[in-house]
Amino acid sequence: MKVRILGCSGGIGGRHLRTTSLLVDNDILIDAGTGVGDLSLAELSQIDHVFLTHSHLDHIACLPFMVDTVGEMREKPLTVYAQQATIEILRNHVFNWSVWPDFTAIPSAEHPHIRFETIRVGQEMKFGWRVVTALPANHIVPAVGYQLDSGHASLVFTGDTSICPELWLEINKITNLRYLIIETAFSNREKNLAIMSKHLCPSMLAEELTHMQRTAELFITHLKPGQIELTMREIEECVGEFKPRMLQNNHVFEL
């Protein structure tokens, strides 16, 4: 299993800044932020499954364009997996004919370009030897993270989350954990904003990592563009013993 980072920024502002999306092999997306826009038509058309962590724009921005662009090129609908609350938001506020066409009914309800499948926390979805498991998260809207398990090793992507004891209970059960990608959106000087918006700052990240009982390579995602250097410096000061690295576009994890 290969996991390629298409986008991992908390915003935009240059060729190297793309919002959240991970491409698993050639056929699975985890979130559909602006990084998806760098894929070719051929690459887009190969994607059969999209797993959404939550409904915020930086994680879904390219989903409507993607469906519109490659829908007619595909022989089957693109399947979007998300919690029921997330699906309802997409139906009501995106694929509603006002913001974007309802591609669950295009070209027909019997043969749509997109279909939604509800998932729940703890649910495992198998694709051959690959397993995608929805993990708990604590965000301002209903959200999940994901465990990607190749059978040999696992990668955990927390998505957007704040303090979440339930997440660590599940992470500590993963015996083959190799990589942990966790968000830290704000610097410590904006801790109040992090708490209000249910994100992490470096001091909160340090507290969360005290609950981790597994060994894993640590990567930081969702850094706000104007605070990247400051936040990473604070992370080094708070959790340097974990050897944290800033996640980068086009990084490839092999599991």
**Domain map of the chain by residue range?**
2-254
pTM summary value: 0.97
Burial of 79 (0-12, 13-18, 19+ CB in 10 A): middle
Three-class secondary structure of residue 81 per DSSP: strand
Query: What is the pLDDT tens value at each position of the chain, 255 positions in all?
Result: 999 999 999 999 877 899 999 999 999 999 999 999 999 999 999 999 999 999 999 999 999 999 999 999 999 999 999 999 999 999 999 999 999 999 999 999 999 999 999 999 999 999 999 999 999 999 999 999 999 999 999 999 999 999 999 999 999 999 999 999 999 999 999 999 999 999 999 999 999 999 999 999 999 999 999 999 999 999 999 999 999 999 999 999 999
- Give the residue carrying structure tokens 């662009």: 69
* Cα gap 199→244, rounded to integer Å: 18
- CATH number for the region 2-254 comes to 3.60.15.10
